[in-house]
A and B are shown apart, each in its own frame.
Chain A
Amino acid sequence: MHRTFNYLARILSCLFYFTLYSFSVTDHLRESEKRTFGGNIIEHMGTAALFLALTATFFWFRKAWKVNLPKTPRVFQIFWFLSFLLGITSTNTGTGSAGLWAIGVSTLLLVLTFTGKQKVAKEGIGVGDIIPEFTAETDGKKLFGSSDLAGSRILIKFFRAHW
């Protein structure tokens, strides 16, 4: 718990300093683009952030659908983090809600991927163990138990739910 708070404090302080920094960057960009492009870059920063977040999210879910997710989500997390930073920077300009959407999408996906690890109890069933006796209801509302598996070679799949 102490470690979690420690990490949380570090993240919050980083975000705080980045927000302050992004204000100064935005002001600097606003001035420089006025001189060079006539004021268009910042206007599209939120849209670019949202595009980045949605593109990474699309490819993430496409890989998930194909049961082909990478062993580590680091590359996707980098894209979502970049989108998050761009989103924060764009919100300082007060131009549209795309930046806020980018922050929302990227934050959600970052949380989901950073908290994706699962763990079971140490006494969870393993190779060499005998399966416990159990009974459960089938979709036909009939009782089915471990005794129905006696003498059969069987594949048992545990999954979360239909969603």
Chain B
Amino acid sequence: MVTVSTDTSTEIRLGRGMHGLKGTMLADPKLKVITLFGLRNKNINNFRLPGRPGLPVPTSLLVDESGVVVWKDQADDYARRSDPTVVKSALSDCFN
């Protein structure tokens, strides 16, 4: 698993234990990767904080061996997240 967030690498290192994540965690405070994927939030709740030009829309992607997106889950409200059971079910369906 790879995560991408607007945290800096230092913030990720300090906060890694908070959510129990063990995958590769990438820092994208300038939203370069997020913009490449077209996942920047374009709505008014796109809080611009000092040093951060915006925020992404929380999104989960399953990518196969050839780099093709085979599944996508995206919340339409910032307060909602992909349910872990939904992600597990997609993993099972897409990758057996």
Contacts and interface: CB of A to CB of B under 8 A. Distances in A.
Interface of A: 64, 67, 69, 112-113, 115-121, 123-134, 136-141, 144, 146, 149-162
A146 to B, nearest CB: 7
A159 B26 contact: no
Interface of B: 1-7, 9-13, 15-16, 18-19, 23-28, 32-34, 36-46, 55-72, 74-84, 87, 91, 95
Contacts, number: 188
B83 A67 contact: yes
B26 A124 contact: no
A159 B5 contact: yes
Contact of B67 (A64, A123, A127, A149): A149
Given A69-B79, A150-B67, A162-B18, A121 B38 contact: yes
Given A121-B38, A121-B40, A159-B56, A137 B81 contact: no
Nearest to A134: B33
Contacts of B26: 136-138, 144
A120 B40 contact: yes
21 contacts: A69-B79, A115-B43, A117-B77, A125-B38, A130-B67, A131-B61, A131-B69, A133-B36, A136-B26, A149-B2, A153-B64, A155-B62, A156-B1, A156-B4, A156-B61, A156-B63, A157-B82, A158-B39, A159-B5, A160-B78, A161-B11
Given A138-B27, A160-B56, A117 B61 contact: no
A118 B76 contact: yes
A132 B27 contact: no
A119 B63 CA distance: 22
Contacts of B66: 130
A33 B60 CA distance: 57
A67 B69 contact: no
B66 to A, nearest CB: 8
B43 A151 contact: no
Contacts of A153: 62-65, 95
A138 B12 CA distance: 8
Contacts of A162: 5, 7, 11-12, 15, 18-19
